[in-house]
A = this chain, B = another copy of it.
Amino acid sequence: MFPVKEIDLHATEIYPGTQSVARAIALLKAFSDAQPEWSLNELAQATGLNKTTAFRLLSALEAERLVMRNPLSGGYRLGVELIAIGGTAMRSNPLRAMSRPSLVTLAEQSGEAATLEMLVENYVLVLDEIASSNPMGMTQDVGNRLPLHATATGKVLLASRPDAEIDRLLSDPLEPLTEQTIIDRARLKAELARVRQEGIAIAVGELEPWFTAVAAPIMDRERQVIAAISVGGPSLRLTADRLPTIAAMVQMSARQISRQLGYWPG
């Protein structure tokens, strides 16, 4: 159903004369929801930097407000300037702008929340989200990172990658987020094969116990899968009998967006 092309995603080649910038970025990337505050030593250790170097780089980041310090603990946190720059990055993202109308329609049609997500590093990044018109929509999490193996979109994006890369992308072991999360690699691989064939992925209670989602791939003119869209909501509403209908809606929207990107089926 959809192609698996070998493309060098790990373009981590080192440009000469960019060491300090690369290191500063590594520092920024260390911060996460799980650990939003770091001490200097922790950061130096996690990034493999000399303590003095980390300190100097962090001072530069702090002066520009990309990083701030907890006045009580002295710990480092991401700064407000990143909220501003991140907001600009989000609003100016071309894929997001292009997909939005279809996503809105999809949310209306389905009556559930619709999202646009893509593969970044080894996570799924939520690029856009249209809240459900029905009450009890998902939490607002544009800009959030979600695990690849426990999301419908993650499965779609994984399925589009060659096998060797899938192994690189998946955490080991697969973290169980709910009872339903697939933690057996072989079973996940089998599921991915099915996703590849059918062009649709489903996750029932795999990310959160109450949550079900259906996802389909977005492809560009080179027939590369560059993103995925999904419809998701409470499993009580997205019941088994509704899933085929919803899957069809998601696929139709996905094709519509893909076509706008220059993709031509056939």
Asked if B15 contacts A143 (CB within 8 A), the reply is: no
Stretch of A75-83, A207-215, A237-245 lying at the B interface:
A75-83
Q: Is the interface of A mostly helix, strand, loop or mixed?
A: mixed
Number of copies of this kind of chain in the complex: 2
Residue from the list B77, B81, B123 in contact with A120, Cβ < 8 A: B81
Residue from the list B11, B22, B64, B79 in contact with A22, Cβ < 8 A: B64
Residue from the list B25, B57, B77, B125 in contact with A64, Cβ < 8 A: B25
**Residue A20 lies at the interface, judged by CB distance under 8 Å to chain B:** yes
Q: Considering the complex, which residues of chain A in the window 1-50 have a beta carbon less than 8 Å from any beta carbon of chain B?
A: 11-13, 15-18, 20-22, 24-25, 28-29, 31-33, 36-37
Chain B residues near A32: list those with CB within 8 A: 88
Residue from the list B25, B65, B87, B145 in contact with A84, Cβ < 8 A: B145
Asked if B85 contacts A17 (CB within 8 A), the reply is: no
A60-B18, A63-B11 known; A86+B90 contact, CB < 8 A: yes
Asked if A88 contacts B81 (CB within 8 A), the reply is: no
Stretch of A91-99, A151-159, A192-200, A246-254 lying at the B interface:
A91-99
- Number of A residues near B (Cβ < 8 Å) is 59
Least CB distance, A224 to chain B, in whole angstroms: 12
**Minimum CB distance partner of A56 in chain B:** B17
Chain B residues near A70: list those with CB within 8 A: 94
Residue from the list B12, B33, B89 in contact with A83, Cβ < 8 A: B89
**Minimum CB distance partner of A118 in chain B:** B80
**Residue A144 lies at the interface, judged by CB distance under 8 Å to chain B:** yes
Fill in one digit per residue for A134-165: 1 if any B CB lies within 8 Å of its CB, else 0.
00000001111100000000000000000000
Asked if A80 contacts B85 (CB within 8 A), the reply is: no
Tell which of A37, A56, A82, A85 has the most Cβ of chain B within 10 Å.
Answer: A85
Least CB distance, A36 to chain B, in whole angstroms: 3
Chain B residues near A256: list those with CB within 8 A: none
- Show the binding face of A for B, using Cβ within 8 Å: 11-13, 15-18, 20-22, 24-25, 28-29, 31-33, 36-37, 56-57, 59-61, 63-66, 70, 77-94, 118, 120-121, 123, 125-127, 141-145
**What are 8 A-to-B residue pairs whose CB atoms are below 8 Å?**
A13-B63, A24-B24, A25-B61, A33-B88, A82-B85, A83-B93, A87-B142, A88-B143
